[in-house]
Amino acid sequence: MGHVNGDKPPEVPAAVAGLDLQPLTSRKAPPKRRYRRCRSAPVQPADEGSQTSRPGNILKHLQPSFRIVAIFLAVYLGVGTLCFSVVGHHIKGKKTNAVLDAVYLSVVTMTTVGYGDLVPDSVFTKLMACAYVFLGMALVGLLLANAADYLVERQEMLLAKALLDVTEEGETKKVKYKCVTVVVILSVLVAVGISVLMWVENLSFVDAFYCACCTVSTLGYGDVSFTTTIGRIFAVFWIPAGTLCAAQFYLYIAELATEKKRKSLVKWVLTRKMTKLDLEAADFDGDGAVDAAEFVIFKMKELGKITSRDVELCLEEFEHLDVDQTGTLSTLDINLADLVIPQN
């Protein structure tokens, strides 16, 4: 790879391992945008004892798993059912079956619906219910954390696609499609709930609609609820499905709103006219010119995707790997780095 300043290696090898550092003005730009391929040294034959497998994605291990949340949810409901079954004689209200009532009470407590048709009636059960509801709120917080991480990861992916000039209208339509899909599913769940409340619980249409809306929104006034055995069996499955579907709808609405803000930010950053101050800020190596690598880093910093500290850490790692001090990385550097820095 040739250097801009003669044969002297650049002082700051900012992302030189993966980007073409030839001045942008020296290139003959074609009519349409080209995506340059990362240049690398020829691959040397691997030794028999060396590792040939590609490194795994560490983000997969860092991302929270909804499967773990589902396990916690099952354990939570199981423990709640067991506890409320044991102290069932200290629970007052309209009862049907001991185990069914315990599951039903656990579900309405976890989802914070809280109809009030079954309530603790002793000091011990009240204290137990307090502890149980706070554990349920912690579980809800874990779900919200997963949802927040999903939003952040989603925005990062969309932002990266926007920077690569990928069509954004398709992404917006996908989010709108998901919103419409969840609305349809939620409407079906509400309609099914209304039907069961009318035919099983013998409620009028208005009362059934009122109860269904109070349930999926976790409002739960308690004046109308499930009182029959069949109704509570249905409620054990319908209440979590309805409340989770409503939460998913709110999540997609938030995603749609944040995507609009993201598109505005990307448009502003990528279309904003670069000033002399911006040019000085983007000149990381202080040579009086901004190459492609420095421009990309500057734009990423402006978008808030990376910080100066992130760049410094990457440069430090590059310097450690560049054992022969040539300003570029090759398989020889990697092999030498393995000898200098033993892998754990």
* Residue ranges covered by each domain of the chain: 66-269, 270-340
For residues 234 and 189, the answer to whether their CB atoms sit within 8 Å is: no
pTM above 0.85, yes or no: no
Own/partner pairs, 178-187, CB within 8 angstroms, 24+ separation: 178/252, 178/255, 179/249, 179/252, 179/253, 179/256, 182/245, 182/248, 182/249, 182/252, 183/249, 185/245, 186/216, 186/242, 186/245, 186/246, 186/249
Q: At 91, phi and psi to the nearest 5?
A: -110, 125
Question: Going by CATH, does the domain composed of 66-269 fall within 1.10.287.70?
Answer: yes
Digitized pLDDT (tens) for each residue of the chain, 344 residues in all = 444 444 444 444 444 344 444 443 444 444 444 434 444 444 444 444 444 444 444 334 434 466 777 788 888 889 999 999 999 889 998 889 989 999 999 999 888 888 888 989 899 999 998 988 888 878 777 776 666 666 666 656 665 565 555 445 555 677 778 888 888 999 999 999 999 999 999 999 999 999 999 999 988 788 889 999 999 999 999 998 898 888 888 888 887 777 777 777 667 666 777 777 777 777 777 777 888 888 878 877 777 777 778 888 888 888 888 887 877 778 877 777 776 655 44
